[in-house]
Every structure is written in C-alpha cells, then in structure tokens.
Structure 1
C-alpha cells in the first residue's frame, strides 16, 4: 500500500467503516473506468465531486450514472450559487487530487450531500484518496461516515 492509501485506510478504521481499500495498477479517474475495473454497474460508483457553494466547499457524493443538477441543489440546499471547483480548490479543501477524492479523510469537515440513488446498490465503490484506489461501502455507511444528508442530485 502507498502512504496515501495507508492514511486513508486508517481514517476508515477510525470511522468504523468495514470495507478494505483496493489498489489498482492503473488510474481509475472516471466512474466508467472504475466500473469496468471492478465489474460493477457505473451507477454503483460513488463519485466524490467538490463544488464551491457560495464560496465554501460542498462535497457531492454522486452515482457515477448521474450528472449533478447544481441548480436543483441550489434550490434544495438554499445556496445562492454552486459551481464546479478548480483542481487547486479541490486539493486544498480535501487534501486529495481530482479523480481520486474520497468521501472522507479531508483536513476539515466538508458539508456533504450523498446521492440517494446510491441506495439502490447493496455495494457502492468510493474513491480512497488517490486515482489508484477505491473502497466498498454502502449508502447507509456513506451517510454515517460523511455526516452527509441524502438528496436527489441528478438532472431530471
């Protein structure tokens, strides 16, 4: 395991998460690449996407089968403006690179929304802090370990 993966695994253990981090020989920076590598549905990939929400970080853990409806989230969360964050903002907010952001393990807590569509999959796979690693979890566990709220996040 790499130092990044070791640190992420330690954070999962602190949170009482059950899944074991899986490392890949090649990067899996997209939901499609991860699903192909894991042999699962794209919808079972939990993409951790960072946005700026009125200037503050917002983590949206979205099904890989969805595009995030930022306007819908603005309305449902009472936020004036949500925009995709720059890679630099993502790294500063999470300590993790774009394409490998995990739902936990950030320097400071980040407001988090978890796509309710992930609940349709008994196992979902989330990033583990690098472009080479993921871990299996469940919708309920994602909500618990992130402290996030469940919401519909997809465009209709």
Structure 2
C-alpha cells in the first residue's frame, strides 16, 4: 500500500508519527542537502540556512532530487545515492528506539536506530524547527 505521508506511514507501521524519518532534499546554493526530519516536525529552512551560512535553502525540484539521489520525491532513502550528500538529522529522532525511513521507493520503508542512521549517513545532528 502507499505511504506518501508520515502520518499514513506511521498508521500502516503502527509507530508514532514522530518516529518516521522524512528524507527532504533541499537545494543549498546548487548543492543537494538531505534533511532527515521527524514526521512530527516542519523544517525551519531559514534557521537551517543560517546554521549553514547560506542566504536560503530552497525546496528541490523533482528533477534536482532525482539527479542527486537517483530516487523520486516521496520515497527518497537516506542512503544509496550516486554520490554522498551532506546530511542533517533532526535531534528528536534520537528519542525513539526504532525509527522508520524510506527505502528508495514511495511504497517501502525500513526500521533503523538513530545511532545506525547517523553512522550510515554521516549526518550532523541539529534542531530542525
């Protein structure tokens, strides 16, 4: 079945929406930036841009996402991209023993721990909102 939103995925899995790790790709002055955020949060792009020393973070186009991840919006996995992507991770995901991330397709997710996800992605832990 389809799990296009964090709420739908959480309902299907039977976990809190906050334990869903959304993979959001932003255009950071021409470079891709992956933000792994809790399904319970909206990303404060102005705050993250300031943290990164950028004038702004733009939501990536579907073409930009596919070029840099090899995957389509709605199912972007935190790994498996053609080249490494700088990654930030929402610190509140650490509150969950198990988190769920997209597996490269809109209909698939996989369970992982916060520590494993940080190790796998080399993510920098931040407050996203």
TM-score tier, shorter chain, comes to over 0.9
- 1:87 CA displacement: 0.9
**Other-structure match for 2:118:** 143
- 1:37 CA displacement: 0.3
**Other-structure match for 1:4:** none
Segments of 4+ moved more than 4 angstroms? none
- 8 A Cα contact 1:53 1:80, kept in partner: no
Please tell me the root mean square deviation across aligned C-alpha atoms, in Å: 0.7
Aligned residue pairs total: 129
Out of 93, 97, 108, which is 1:118 matched to?
Answer: 93
Out of 31, 43, 48, which is 2:18 matched to?
Answer: 43
TM-score, with length taken from structure 2: 0.97
Larger radius of gyration: 1
Cα distance in 2 for residues equivalent to 1:77 and 1:87: 23
Unaligned runs of 5+ in 1: 1-25
Unaligned runs of 5+ in 2: none
Matches within 5 A, 1:24-35: 26-35=1-10
TM-score, with length taken from structure 1: 0.81
SS at match of 1:49: strand
